[in-house]
């Protein structure tokens, strides 16, 4: 151990640590979860420090040699990130606003930059935790979303592809979990694909607000201790490093008080998770069985399903997806509470928001490729089971309304339900319709395709 000093006095710090006293105090004060900030978030912080040093130099606030030393240290950290990742040791649950983490980054950069570089006076020049931390959340979230969107596109495409594959598989529709008029399995899957695409578009739209940055506001959004033009200069530097179309916020006070852009992205993630939960639950229901459930689709077997029941196979990939989605929904609630908990000039709950946003995107991004490959692409239709349900459904009588009237159709439906005789057979036996008319009506095109017909 070595002795380091800050404004509160002496602190013992591990000899091999690049950080200093303030970071060590945070390690001792917040031994909460053992979790550390997301790597993309850490890298974003380093990029912000680099951009600040260049902006300060450009505006004459920092000596060129000081700026060069800081930029060189940042480049070293970014180029060899895995080597230095263990130096960022502050728990994700920490003091409000993220001051501890900001100082962790400042101290590591100052040590690497060499003698004469101070973590506060130089690395943190023209900055405050209060404007750097929320800026880093926005940028890191944008970067992670750029990684997520291709996987959401792939999921939508996988569902749409299955929709084409199952286009001719007619089956009983279900409303209120009761028999309803027919649909095709392909129509169900195409609807799943469209739902994923819509939720993805909504998430992309919400993320646009993240491009507006409050950097340069320093402590309370007034820009105290910044050179003239700093906020625009630092955004320019960031845009040269990152292709994100970032811009300076119109009102730096609002950007510091309100974390509405983060709230919007959290809500969009929650909405995506809720709709994906609906879809995964549908798939579990459609695959239930194999003998005592619906069993209209067959899921790929990825592992034995029971330690006691031989031969049992469970919808394991769907179950894992549900758990991922439930966490995202819960994280969005945490972001909601954190967003409304700010007071006056600052929302101090940003560390929680940073963790919940980045972790939610990370787990969904990581699981989607496996989920698509090992679950969605391998789904098969049990065509015989789908047809058996379809022909035995009393709701088929609905198609008879325009031909024999609602009352007579209701009688046919009741008799079919009571006797178990398929509706087409009853019509044939009672001589109510010709074989040609029955063949015309009881087809996927007539029963399930009328909404998609083109106007001639």
Peptide bond into 307 cis (omega under 30): no
- The one catalytic residue in 306, 339, 392, 419 is 306
Beta bridge partners, 452, equal none
How many CB atoms within 10 Å of residue 342?
A: 18
Q: How far is 255 from 345, CA to CA, in rounded Å?
A: 10
**316-340 vs 260-286: helix axis angle to the nearest 10?**
160
Q: How far is 233 from 56, CA to CA, in rounded Å?
A: 8
SS3 of residue 182 by DSSP: strand
- Backbone phi, then psi, for 67, in 5-degree steps? -60, -45
Q: Helix, strand, coil: what percent of the chain each, to 5? A: 65, 5, 30
**Beta carbons of 364 and 280 less than 8 angstroms apart:** no
**Beta carbons of 361 and 355 less than 8 angstroms apart:** no
Q: How far is 244 from 237, CA to CA, in rounded Å?
A: 12
CA 91 to each of CA 11, 28, 106, 179, 210: distance values in angstroms, whole numbers, following the listed order: 18, 10, 16, 53, 24
Examine the residue annotation and report whether 306 is marked as an active-site residue of this protein: yes
DSSP 8-state secondary structure symbol assigned to residue 443: S
Query: Which residues are marked as active site?
Result: 306
């Amino acid at each position: 151990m070595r002795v380091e000093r800050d404004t509160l006095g002496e602190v013992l710090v591990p000899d091999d640590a690049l950080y200093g006293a303030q970071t060590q105090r945070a390690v001792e004060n917040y031994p909460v979860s053992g979790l550390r900030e997301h790597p993309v978030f850490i890298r974003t912080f380093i990029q912000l420090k680099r951009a600040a040093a260049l902006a300060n130099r450009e505006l004459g606030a920092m000596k060129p040699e000081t700026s060069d030393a800081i930029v060189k240290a940042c480049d070293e950290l970014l180029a060899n990130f895995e080597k230095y990742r263990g130096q960022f040791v502050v728990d994700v649950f920490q003091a409000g606003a993220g001051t501890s983490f900001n100082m962790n980054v400042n101290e590591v950069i100052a040590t690497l930059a060499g003698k004469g570089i101070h973590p506060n006076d130089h690395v943190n020049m023209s900055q405050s935790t209060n404007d750097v931390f929320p800026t880093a959340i926005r940028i890191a979230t944008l970067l992670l979303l750029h990684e997520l969107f291709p996987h959401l596109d792939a999921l939508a495409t996988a569902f749409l592809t299955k929709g084409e594959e199952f286009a001719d598989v007619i089956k009983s529709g279900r409303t209120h979990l009761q028999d309803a008029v027919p649909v095709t399995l392909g129509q169900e899957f195409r609807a799943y694909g469209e739902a994923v695409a819509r939720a993805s578009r909504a998430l992309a739209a919400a993320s646009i607000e993240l491009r507006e940055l409050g950097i340069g506001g320093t402590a309370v959004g007034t820009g105290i201790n910044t050179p003239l033009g700093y906020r625009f200069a630092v955004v320019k530097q960031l845009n040269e490093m990152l292709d994100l179309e970032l811009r300076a916020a119109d009102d730096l006070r609002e950007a510091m008080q309100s974390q509405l852009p983060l709230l919007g992205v959290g809500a969009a993630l929650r909405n995506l998770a809720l709709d994906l939960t609906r879809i995964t639950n549908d798939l579990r229901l459609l695959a239930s069985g194999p003998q005592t459930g619906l069993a209209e689709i067959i899921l790929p077997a990825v592992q034995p399903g029971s330690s006691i029941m031989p031969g049992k196979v469970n919808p394991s990939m769907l179950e894992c997806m549900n758990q991922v989605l439930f966490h995202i929904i819960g994280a969005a609630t945490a972001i909601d509470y954190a967003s409304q908990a700010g007071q006056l000039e600052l929302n101090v709950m940003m560390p929680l928001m940073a963790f919940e946003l980045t972790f939610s995107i990370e787990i969904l991004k990581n699981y989607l490729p496996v989920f698509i490959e090992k679950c969605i692409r391998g789904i098969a239709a049990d065509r015989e089971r789908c047809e058996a349900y379809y022909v035995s459904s009393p709701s088929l009588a609905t198609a008879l309304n325009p031909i024999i009237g609602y009352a007579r159709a209701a009688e046919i439906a009741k008799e079919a339900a009571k006797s178990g005789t398929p509706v087409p057979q009853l019509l044939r036996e009672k001589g109510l319709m010709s074989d040609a008319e029955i063949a015309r009506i009881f087809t996927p095109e007539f029963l399930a395709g009328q909404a998609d017909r083109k106007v001639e």
